[in-house]
Amino acid sequence: MRILGLDFGSKTVGVAVSDELLLTAQGLCVLRRKSPDKLRQTLAGIEALIAEYGVERIVLGYPKNMNNTEGERCEKTNEFKEMLTRRSGLPVILWDERLTTVAADRHMIEAGMRREDRKQIVDEVAAVLILQGYLDYLKISEESKKQAPACE
């Protein structure tokens, strides 16, 4: 099983995929579109990646505000989630993505990447961070179940 991670933006979607053991996330690409409302090609690209990698679940970054409220970007993300669910037939999990783009940019700066290069892949790196956060959550949840005391 593999999981696809997405960082949905107004003109781009960063894409990452998990390994089959659900341990690590790897960046795949950035899907670009000319207009925020032109999603047909973006959805077709995601469907092709789902088929190519045998994806069984999608994790979609959910851009809540820092004060935990939901703004216009959350509304657009919910609409995109519904489209993904309908077209792919897969479960789509919303995952809090606050500060992932900032963290992605910071990682690339620390790696010495030029600004022009960073702009090209920041959404892909953000998708990796979103998906890795979810994978880490799954692992922690699984470990806590194993350590729970048995009831007698």
- Tell me: the pLDDT tens digits for 34-51? 887 789 999 999 999 999
pLDDT digits (tens, 9 = 90+) for 106-127: 776 777 777 776 677 778 888 9
Contact 2, 51 (CB under 8 A): no
48 domain residue, yes or no: no
pTM: 0.84
**Rounded to an integer, what distance in angstroms lies between the CA atom of residue 100 and that of residue 102?**
5
The CATH number of whichever domain residue 74 belongs to comes to: 3.30.420.140
Range of 29-43, 49-63, 95-109, 123-137 with top mean pLDDT: 49-63
Decide if 70 is inside a domain: yes
- pLDDT above 90 coverage of the chain, percent: 54
Which band of pLDDT confidence, cut at 50, 70 and 90, is reported for residue 102?
low
**pLDDT at 78 exceeding the cut of 70:** yes
Q: Output the average pLDDT for the chain.
A: 87
Count of structural domains, the chain: 1
Cα(84)–Cα(66) distance, integer angstroms? 26
Determine, yes or no, domain membership for 46: no
Q: Does residue 122 belong to any structural domain of this protein?
A: yes
Q: Are 120 and 29 in contact (CB under 8 A)?
A: no
Domain that holds residue 74: 2-36+55-142
Q: What is the largest CA-CA distance in the chain?
A: 61
Contact by Cβ (8 Å): 28, 18: no
Residue 45 lies in a domain: no
Residue 104 lies in a domain: yes
Asked if residue 118 is part of any domain, the answer here is yes
